[in-house]
A and B are shown apart, each in its own frame.
Chain A
Amino acid sequence: QKEVEQDPGPLSVPEGAIVSLNCTYSNSAFQYFMWYRQYSRKGPELLMYTYSSGNKEDGRFTAQVDKSSKYISLFIRDSQPSDSATYLCAMESGGYQKVTFGTGTKLQVIP
Chain B
Amino acid sequence: DGGITQSPKYLFRKEGQNVTLSCEQNLNHDAMYWYRQDPGQGLRLIYYSQIVNDFQKGDIAEGYSVSREKKESFPLTVTSAQKNPTAFYLCASSLGQGRNTEAFFGQGTRLTVV
Contacts and interface: CB of A to CB of B under 8 A. Distances in A.
Interface stretch (B62-70, B76-84, B95-103): B95-103
- The A interface is mostly helix, strand or loop, or mixed, namely loop
A24 B35 CA distance: 22
B105 A102 contact: no
Contacts of B110: 41
Nearest to B45: A98
A95 interface: yes
Interface residues of B, number: 23
Contact of A46 (B6, B103, B106): B103
A99 B103 contact: yes
Interface string B39-71: 011110100101000000010000000000000
Nearest to B106: A43
Contacts of B98: 94-96
Contact of B90 (A44, A49, A99): A44
A88 B42 contact: yes
Contacts of A32: 101
Interface of B: 6, 35, 40-43, 45, 48, 50, 58, 90, 92, 98, 100-108, 110
